[in-house]
Structure 1
């Protein structure tokens, strides 16, 4: 699995709009229409739409 990266301020705002705590998530992959984010503690992946 690819290593996750810390979030920028705009990414934190976008992730918070999905009622997720941005402190618990890392960006793994950014595609044109969706982002793959990974939970810091559990490693569980999740896909959200890109802004």
Structure 2
């Protein structure tokens, strides 16, 4: 099954850079308030980046 991948937006590129990743090598599969799931363009490797949410 093929996954629908998109190029990262500017906000997503900044988030990936802060996590120490080169955003040019990654495509976004899913972006939720809790996590971002990305796929490497060449190695077909999947990473899940957790997002920090504020507890109220």
- Shorter-chain TM-score bucket reads 0.7 to 0.9
Question: Deviations 1:1-51 (Å, cap 9, x if unpaired)?
Answer: 412100111110000001100000010011220011000001100000236
Unaligned runs of 5+ residues in structure 2 are none
Q: What is the TM-score with the length of structure 2 in the denominator?
A: 0.80
Whose RCO is larger (CA < 8 A, sep 6+)? 1
Number of residue pairs the alignment of both structures matches: 51
Deviates more, 1:1-10 or 1:33-42: 1-10
Q: What is the TM-score with the length of structure 1 in the denominator?
A: 0.87
Q: From the CA coordinates, give the structure whose radius of gyration is larger.
A: 2
Which 4+ stretches in 1 moved above 2 angstroms?
A: none
